Every structure is written in structure tokens, then in C-alpha cells.
Structure 1
Amino acid sequence: MNKQHNCDVLIIGSGAAGLTLALHLAKTADVIVLCKGPINEGSTYYAQGGIAAVFDKNDSIDSHVSDTLIAGAGLCEAETVKYTAENAKACLEWLIEQGVDFDREKNHDGNVRYHLTREGGHSHRRILHAADATGQAVQTTLVDKVRQHNRIRIFERYNAVDLICEQARPDEEKSCIGAYIWNRNSEKVESVFAHKTILATGGASKVYQYTSNPDVASGDGVAMAWRAGCRVANMEFNQFHPTCLFHPDAGTFLLTEALRGEGAILRRPDGSRFMPEFDERAELAPRDIVARAIDYEMKRLGADCMYLDISHKSAGFIKQHFPTIYEKTLSLGIDMTQQPIPIVPAAHYTCGGVMVDKHGRTDIGNLYGIGEVTYTGLHGANRMASNSLLECLVFARAAAQDITGSLPGCHGTKRLPPWDESRVTDSDEEVVIQHNWHELRLFMWDYVGIVRTTKRLERALHRVELLQREIDDYYRHFKVSNNLLELRNLVQVAELIIRSAMQRKESRGLHYTLDYPELSPKGEVTILSPASTKVKEPVKN
């Protein structure tokens, strides 16, 4: 019989969303935080740019709302955007109270204030940041706080396998009571009983061959929620960050949008500037426009990359504001104070996800979702820069308020159904997983990338359905492993992305198709339901 753990709240994911929620809840609840790898290994840690909030007297919440709505290309839910912008400053002040040291500067009166930068899509300087390593500052601060709390247990190197749900009668709401988890240290499946379970697993950018995300971003939460019966929305909107470092030894190193916010220029290999030819906002246009422009120029010229140039700024300015990037590029033989940086777009952010309300509640009782794993309506067809960590903070607090109000009535535990692996064996065919893994990521990049066509999507769907059958058969016969669990989830997420993209007969935001290049007059949210392979009636904004 597998080992069972018990808690009030199980949080699957250890980034800004999960750890913020844990700290809010630990005053009144016993919490388990599940980390797939080391607790710092997630997208939050690698976030460079910052967090958006109105701190400048010349800025306004209405302006933040307006900028977000424009960037979202008509698909943001206005109420959600307003709620997020209104709560932004309070959530940032809470983060500052925890010890996050955002950059400061002296104004003309000699008073010290937070240094605010500007990024694409923003009409004002409203990005709080810690140099160019904001995510690292946030993550390490929250981890330190969590480790000090005696009501929070941290399970590192554990994969969530599947949610455990119960339903007394067909006419009753399905309810989540925990999850099966795989201990990567012992290579055994265990289980966790929880009165409340929260998905804070991040996005699914690892479904693409080139991504700025760490290896853990494999769509686990979306896939588990879908298998459990939750609806998902807007999965076709995958944001490709325009500027990732192009170098064989760079790995997945992102170059923050704050570089362009501080004046960096995009150039062709011959040194000519090209963004003004695509949009009047030039380098400060929203990410979808900038990424498509770079992709277009690369294909038109047959070039391997484009270039990002901030060398016209002083060396002191560059080293002060972008020390992490300066050191990284210098280690690769690129002096960004003297020369442009080679860049390419890469998959960066999943704008759609599991449908939740403003408290983070999903379609299943006692199951919540917060952060990139979710669809809240904030991002619409394109996420505006530095609204991602903000969403984590705002909705973690909102979920905490809802959970705290419903936990006092909870008591006791129950024995969960045992994990049955009596008919599976160890695999001697790991090469099958590796082959399928590479095939999936390659055809998603080629067929479901920055520019799409109906034929490419049809080919991708055919390939993903073949892979699903192979992987499902493999999953039934062999013991689980990290690669198998991630591949199973990625294939599921890939199918959802493709089916969502096939339903959108227009080009909007991050979804651009050559077959339907025009914008539809109506903004519609794509909703997929596990109860049907067809899309439910679109929600009109």
C-alpha cells in the first residue's frame, strides 16, 4: 500500500503563486507545498523584468487597465483586469514587507523612491524591479519565509501524477480530495489527502522546441485538471518572447523586455532598424507584434537571428540596470556595452489555461488554480509585460481569502484509493519516450508556432493523436518516471492547443494564421470541455 500524507491544503507548485498562497494560509492551516524539482526551480526564479503596479502619481489604475485591455486584443475580461490593477499596489506592498528589495532611486528633490521602468504595451513607467533579476529576488525571499514556517511542509523532487476526486452521485458536484504524487527520490507513488488542493504549476511552454522556460514548465496542472473534468480556455494563445539569447551555449536565457523599455533597438544583421516599419510603437509594441516582426525578418532574409542593441547607452548604465544579462553575455564573448546581442523568439508564456473565477475556484469542488496554469481573463489574446507575477500575487491572495473562510468546517481525513501498479514493469524502452518527446516539440514549433495555417494545424493534430495512443499504451504497461509523466502531460496540452487554434477562424493577438489574417468583429473566448471534443458556445466579451 502506498504511503499517504494528510494536510489541510495541498499546493502543487512552488513559484510566486504557490508560495504566496502558502504564506497567506499557514496562519490557520497545515500546508504541503509540492515541488517537482528543487524549490527554486521554476519560471518565477528566472523572471527578469519586474511586476506592474501603479506607484507613480502621474500614473493611474485606469491607465494600467486600458493598457492591459489594448494588449489583450479585445479578449480580456474587463472586470478581472480592473480587479487585478486595483489590488496590485497592496500585493506589491505585501511582497516588500516580506523583504523583496526592489530598486530605488533619488528624485529631483533628493527623496528616495522606487525606480520604475517601462516595458512594451505600458504607457507609463510602472514596473517595480530588482535590477534584471526580479524573479530571483521574489523567489528567494518567499522561499526563506516558507522555510521558517512550521505549518508548511515542503516536498521537493515530487511530481504530481493525477488529482483524486470523488462524486457521491451523478447529480452532485465532483470534489477533489487530494492527489497521487511520485517521489523522485524513492521512485515510489505516494498520495496526499487534502481538504483543498491548489494547482500552481505554471505554464506549458516546454511543449515547444525553443522556450525561455525551465524544464519543469510541462503543462502538468492543465493536463491533470483536464483529465479530472475541468474546462480550459484560450489555449491557442501561446506568447513567444521576442528576445531570447541566440548562442549554442546559452541554453534558455531570456533578455528582459526592460532592455527595450530603456532604449534597446532591434536590428537586422546589416545593422538596420526594422520595428518602425511594423508598428508605430516600434520596439515598445506588444510582444506578439514584435515576435512576428522578428520571425518575418528572419524568414525573409534566411537569417538565423536578429540583434538587440543597447550599446548606445553608457557602459555604467547597462551594468547597473542589467548586471545579470551583462555577465551572462560577456561569459559568451559578447560585450553588450560595445556590440548588439544575437536574439531569436522563443515560447515564453501560456495565456490560456484552466478556467477559474476571481477566487481561483475551478469547475471541481475544493480544487483551485492560480498563476500561469489558469485562465482568469486578465491576459486575453496577449499578456502584457510584467502582469504575470502580478496575477500570481493578486489571485493567490484572493484564493487564500476564500479558502480561509471555508476551512474551519473541515475536519478529519480519509483513506485514499491505493495506487495500483501490480501489472506494470520497469521499462527497457526509454528511447521511445525520448523519440516521442523530440517529435512532439519539433512539430509543435513547426506547425503551431508564431505563424500558423489550417493545413499545419491538421497535420499537428494527426501527429499528436498518434503520439497519444502510443504514450497511453506505454503509461499502462510501465512504471512512471519523470520523463513519462511530463510527456503524457505535454501531449495532452498540445492537443488542447491545437484544437483551440483550429477553432479560431481569425488572427488575433498571439494567434496568427495565414488562412484567416483578418480580425473578427467579435471577440470570443475559446472554451474546451472534457465532456465533449467540441468547443462549447464561445463567451462574448
Structure 2
Amino acid sequence: MAGLFAALEASSLGPVLLATKAELHEGNTRHAQGGIAAAIGPGDSPEQHLADTVAAGAGLVNEENARILVESASRRISDLRRYGVHFDSEGVGPAFGREGAHGQARVLHALGDRTGAAVETALAEQVKNGRVVIYEHTLAVEIVMVEGQTVGIRALEQQSGIEHFFEASAVILATGGAGAAFSHTTNTPVATGDGISLAFAAGAEVTDLEFYQFHPTAFRQEGAPPFLISEALRGEGAVLRNHRGQAFMGRYHELADLAPRDIVARAMISEMRASNSDHIWLDCTVLNNLNPIERFPGIASFCRERGIDLRKDHIPVAPAAHYLMGGVRTDNWGRTTVPGLYACGESAATGVHGANRLASNSLLETVVFAKRAVEHIESNTGGAMPPSSDSIPFLPAGGAPVDISTIQRLLWKHAGIERTGQELRAGLAVVRAWPMNPRVVSRENHELAWLSIFAELLLTAALIREESRGAHFRTDFPQRDDERWGRHLVFHRAD
């Protein structure tokens, strides 16, 4: 979504090339069931949206950037409508849903629980019919620098094996997250952290990689593919129940089932452990006077294919890796610390999510900061984000395993929802022992290399941060420690 929106906005400035390693439609956006948070309804305000965002972010939200996020929402929603997105309505106005940790119903949806698909389809059609040159199945393999300035990318056209150099006055990374690094994830297989590792290799700073959000409710059934069960169900009254049939979230947080995601995920793990089970039940039979088949058609269809009727059955759910709060460090114009290189969407770390993202702020962030990156490029002021004064030099081991499943199992075991120093050190020892074998140039081998770098950075950051905050939970340091750790961990590649 970030890449499509940026390409559309930039196409009025001059020639734009969009390279994607898969098909144009392939990515996490298409599978997003939640909506877009926007404080544009009666009784709501950007100030309230900001307060909820800061509260969820556990003390690490960049409030200046978060204010830009919430105050830009109305204009970016208008842009999406202009590009053909039709948001769901109720009466004469938009229909607003409420999701976890939001104090107001402010989440816009399109096609019920198919918001991501609706937005992505509309933007992709505009891109295909516009002035953007599209290279599908074309993998960026290097950000090309000349005298410290970004001048383009080197890319591999996968089907032909042809390597291209795409010259550019500016490069925007919008490559998404790295959920494919975990064995249980809501992400698609293309989410391999490409942009983060590419930018890091080019000299850009990365930050907050220890903060990986685990969505509480991913469908969990033997043999079933990864599938998110939207938080909007709980926003409409659905209740999490343990294997004794008890609604347990009230024991963990005053917002019960609408508590921040990190709290819900850890509560679920505790209840699962108590019953020696790999899942919890989501009870949708108690929804607030609505037909779940109509309100959540995508979820209803997926569950029906697996013998589950939302009107009378409970859904088996468990936490899964969902969203990276960190990424390539950027300012509020999308600039990285490398001149001419920008990042937006999940691959960027703008600081608006802090240590734990507020539900439905991610799609809003993509369009707000994609727009600002294009505006900065248009201003032709150049420059880069100033580097952090306490950035940590880091040189990756450089090895890689034989397949991605090895990385997935390692991170789920050693850097999952609950972490310890012992497990993190053990994971790092495994990563640093992976061989540096010469490999055939291919998408799969590039992804292995990038995920290996990402895994080592995540494990290192999680080991250094000796506290628990937001999505990062250390059972050996279970308390939040603002005095020592009320700051961001930033890394740059050591020479």
C-alpha cells in the first residue's frame, strides 16, 4: 500500500518506476482485515486519537510524528476516496468501528473485513492505468551509492535472470515487514525484511527491531494456512474464552478483550499454558446485534470452509507474529540517514507506534508518510536524516541456513512472545554459526541472506534491552525500566 500510494503521488513529478519482487497485488496489505483509524467522526478528535496512540506505545512514541499521523488522517482518507476506495457507510455517513485500545469508534472499513484488499485493488488499478512503469517479479538486490548519495538500485528480473540498474534521483523503500521470519505469522511469504536489510547494507540506521507485535487472534488449526482473525470482532463484542469456557481478559486488564495487543497476547499464552493447549477460543456468538456473516464476510467464509459457523461456534485462535514497529530509521519526511534514500510503511520506523502499535494505525501510517516522502522529494531539498548520536555499530556474521524454515523456527523459539537472556544468547549462537556458503543468485537466496541479517539484529536488540516494554517481554526482566531503557536502540553497519 505504501509503495502504490507513493508511486501514484510521485507520478505527477516525473518518470516513476515501481519494482516488486512478486505480483503487484501480492503483499500484506491485501490481507489486512482491520481498517484505517481516523478521528473524523462526531465526538472524536485528533487529540483523542493521539492520546490512545501514545498510551498504546508504552513510552516510546515519537509524539511529534504521531501528531502528524493523526492530524493528516482526514486529508489522506480524502485521497484514498479520490483514488477509488469506497468506505463502508452507515446511514448518511461513514461507518466507524472500534478496535482494541481505542477510546472511540474511529476505524473505517471497506467491504467489511476486506479493507486491505479493497484499498490495494483500487490503488493498483490506478497505478496500472497511470504513468508508472511497473516491473513485477523484479527483486531489488542493492541500493547503489556514488560518493555517499543514492543513485538508484540494482535489481534482478527473476524470470529472465537479467540484472538491471535503475537510475533514480531518489529511492523509496516500501517493502513491508518481516513476518516470514517467524513460524507462526499472519504475514504472506513475501514479508522477508528486504528493505530493512538493503538499507542497513547501504549504511542506513535501523531501530526498534526488538519490538515485533504478535497479533492475539490468528486462526490456529492443524493444516490451516496463516489467517488473521480481525480485532474488529472483539470491537463488536466477541469474547476470548479459555478451555473452561471462562472470559478471562478482565483479570488481566481493565479494557478486557479490547486491551492493547501485547497484553492480550501474553494473557492468551498464560491461559494456553494453564490448559496445555495450543489455542484459545474466540466466542462470536455474543456479537452486538449484528450478523457476523454480513459484517465479516471474509472471516466467515474462511471459517465455514473449516466447519466453523460464527453464529454458533467458537474460533480456535492463538497469537502470531504480525507487525514490526521498528525498521529503517526515518524522520517525519521519510528520510533515512542515507542521502536520497527514503522509507515508508512497515519497513520504516517513524516512531509513531512506539513499543506497541495501536490497532488500525498501520494503514494510516503508510499513506501519511508515503505522501510526505513524495512532498520532500518534490521540494528538491535533498539531505538526509541526521544520524543518532548513540547508534551502535554492528557487523552481521554473514552466514545463512539452508532454508527459511530454519530461521522461522529459531526466532519463534528464541525471540517469540516471551523472551529470556538465555534463549536470546542461544539463538544468537546458532545464527553466528551459520555457514557462509557461496550461493546461486536467486530470490530465495537473497531472502535467506536478508532474513539472517534481520534475525541477528532482532536477537541482539532484544538481548540488549533488559526490561519489558510493549511487544518486547523478558521474563527475566519483567518490569518496565524508564530510567535505563526509555530510549530507542539504533544500529548502523560497522565498516
Aligned to 1:442: 409
Residue matched to 2:119:
138
Distance in 2 (alpha carbons) for counterparts of 1:515 and 1:433: 29
Q: Measure the CA separation in 2 of the matches of 1:20 and 1:478.
A: 35
Equivalent residue for 1:331, pick from 283, 296, 305:
305
Question: Residue by residue, what CA displacement relative to the aligned partner does 1:404-435 show, whole Å, maximum 9, x if unpaired?
Answer: 12199xxxxxxxxxxxxxxxxxxxxxxx9874
Residue 507 (structure 1) aligns with: 468
User: Residues of 1 paired with 2:440 and 2:494: CA distance?
Assistant: 29
SS at match of 2:164: strand
Residues 1:88 and 2:73 aligned together: yes
Q: Structure 1 residue 20 and structure 2 residue 20: aligned?
A: no
Check if 1:192 corresponds to 2:166.
Answer: yes
Pair 1:452-2:425 in alignment: no
RMSD: 1.6
The answer to whether 1:116 aligns with 2:96 is: yes
Contact preservation (8 Å) 1:315, 1:337: no
1:525 aligns to 2:492 (yes or no): no
8 Å contact 2:155–2:163 — kept in the other structure? Answer: yes
Mapped partners of 2:323, 2:426: distance in 1: 24
> Equivalents in 2 of 1:146, 1:454: separation in Å?
47
Percent of matched pairs sharing the same residue: 40
SS in 2 for 1:489: helix
SS in 2 for 1:389: helix
Counterpart for residue 231 of structure 2 = 257
Deviation at 1:280, TM superposition (A): 1.2
Deviations 1:431-465 (A, max 9, x none): x9874422221111011000000000100111111
TM-score, normalised on structure 2? 0.94
Matched, 1:65 2:39: no
CA distance in 2, matches of 1:140, 1:497: 33
Following TM superposition, by how much is the alpha carbon of 1:320 offset from its aligned partner in structure 2, in angstroms? 1.6
The 2-side partners of 1:302 and 1:133 are apart by 33
Counterpart code for 2:212: N
- Secondary structure at 1:326's aligned position in 2? helix
Residue 246 of structure 1 pairs with residue 220 of structure 2: yes
Q: How far apart, in 2, do the equivalents of 1:314 and 1:293 lie?
A: 24
Q: Which amino acid aligns with 1:526?
A: L
* Displacement after TM superposition at 1:374 (Å): 0.8
2:117 counterpart letter in structure 1: Q
Report the counterpart of residue 447 of structure 2 in structure 1: 486
Match in the other structure for 1:290: 264
Q: How far did residue 479 of structure 1 move? A: 2.3
For the pair shown, the structure with the greater C-alpha radius of gyration is 1
Of 162, 167, 184, 1:210 maps to 184
CA-CA distance at 1:312 after TM superposition: 2.3
Match of 1:351 in 2: 325
Name the CA shift for 1:377/1:188 in 2 (closer, same or farther; >3 Å): same
- 1:388 corresponds in structure 2 to 362
Per-residue CA distance 1:225-277 (angstroms, 9 max, x = gap): 11111111110000000001112343111011101100010011221111111
Q: Is 2:139–2:156's contact at 8 Å kept on the other side of the alignment?
A: yes
Tell me, in whole angstroms, the C-alpha distance in 1 between the residues paired with 2:294 and 2:40: 22
- Listed one character per residue, the Cα deviations across residues 6-59 of structure 1 (whole Å, up to 9, x for unaligned) are xxxxxxxxxx11111111111121011111111111011110110001121201
Give how far 1:120 is off.
Answer: 0.5
Which string of whole-angstrom CA distances, capped at 9 and with x for unpartnered residues, describes residues 101-127 of structure 1?
A: 111011xxxxx1100000001000000
Secondary structure of 1:142 counterpart:
helix
For residue 93 of structure 1, give the secondary structure of its aligned residue in structure 2. helix
- In the other structure, the counterpart of 2:197 is 223
Aligned equivalents of 2:287, 2:268: Cα separation in 1:
23
Query: For 2:72, what is the secondary structure of its paired residue?
Result: helix
Gaps of 5+ in 2: 383-398
Q: How many residues matched?
A: 476
Answer yes or no: is the 8 Å Cα contact 1:433–1:483 preserved in 2.
no
Distance in 2 (alpha carbons) for counterparts of 1:275 and 1:19? 38
Per-residue CA distance 1:294-342 (angstroms, 9 max, x = gap): 1111122211210111112389621121011001100111111111100
The offset of 1:347, in angstroms, is: 0.3
Task: Determine helix, strand or coil for the equivalent of 2:482.
Answer: coil
Q: In the alignment, which residue of structure 2 is the partner of 1:539?
A: none
1:528-539 aligned at under 5 Å gives the runs 528-531=491-494
C-alpha deviation, 1:213, in angstroms: 0.3
Q: Establish whether residue 38 from structure 1 lines up as the match of residue 19 from structure 2.
A: no
Instruction: State the alpha-carbon separation in 2 of the partners of residues 248 and 214 from structure 1.
Output: 18
Is the Cα–Cα contact under 8 Å of residues 120 and 287 in structure 1 kept in the other structure?
yes
Structure 2 letter corresponding to 1:165: M
Shift of 1:526: 1.0
Residues 439-496 of structure 1: per-residue CA shift (max 9 Å, x gap): 22111101100000000010011111112xx2xx33xx33211211111000000111
Matched residue type, 2:123: L
